[in-house]
Every structure is written in structure tokens, then in C-alpha cells.
Amino acid sequence: MAKTLKPINPDVHFRLLSLLEEEPELTQRELAGKLGISLGGVNYCLKALIEIGHIKAGNFSKNPNKSVYLYLLTPKGISEKTKLTAGFLKRKMAEFRLLKKEIETVQSKAKKNDMGH
């Protein structure tokens, strides 16, 4: 019986699918560096994405180093990336609006403090 892995963070899911769509030959170590997560975290995420059918992994047939993998998005993975893109943009725009409001508040307080001195 296959072990079901816990779902991964939607932002990591989106970023991982995006990176693999652009560069399917990236190593797990390179992915970890680009994502800012541990090598173990990348390995876990890749296993989860393979399990749910969003990517498939295969060896480069002509590469003498058979430990080099190619991670390819499946049609299901491409469809999911489209959905994740919309959610990612919605979350990031909400974060942007909150951050912009916070910056404006801090700037306003700083101006008031400058005027008082």
C-alpha cells in the first residue's frame, strides 16, 4: 500500500512546478538553493508531486551519470500549475497591499516625528 504524503505548501508547489517547467534537469540540490528550502524538503516535495501525478522523473538516456534525473510536468501538473498561479498571484497581491499600507503608516509616523523635532 502506497504511503500518502502530506500536501505541500501551495507557494512551494507553484514555485517547484515553475522551476521544473523551465529547467527540468535541475538537481535536487539546485532546486533547494533556488527555493530556499532544505535538500530533504525538496526530496519530500518531489516525491509528493510524483505521487499525485504532477511530475514524472526519468533518467537522461544518453547521460553516462544515471543518477541525473529529468523532472517533467505531466498534463495534470501543467493544469495544476495554472490553478496554483492564480492562487499565488492572489496571495502575493494581498500581501503587497498589506505591506504597502504598513509602509505608508510607518512613513506617515516618521514624517510626524520629523516635524515635531
pTM: 0.71
- Residues 78, 83, 89: CA angle, nearest 5 degrees: 120
Distance (Å, whole) CA 78 – CA 84: 10
The domain in which residue 52 lies consists of 10-116
3-state secondary structure of 54: coil
Q: Is residue 107 part of a domain?
A: yes
Give the whole-angstrom CA distance, residue 7 versus residue 13.
Answer: 9
pLDDT digits (tens, 9 = 90+) for 42-87: 999 999 999 999 999 887 666 555 566 789 999 999 999 999 999 8
Report if residue 79 sits inside a domain. yes
Residue 55 has phi, psi (to 5 degrees) of: -140, 160
Total domains present in the chain: 1
Handedness of CA 98, 32, 47, 73 (dihedral sign): positive
| Residue 3 domain-assigned (yes or no) | no
Task: Tell me the mean pLDDT in the region 103-117.
Answer: 87
Please tell me whether residue 23 adopts helix, strand or coil conformation. coil
pLDDT at residue 1 is higher than 80: no
Say which CATH number the domain at 108 has. Answer: 1.10.10.10
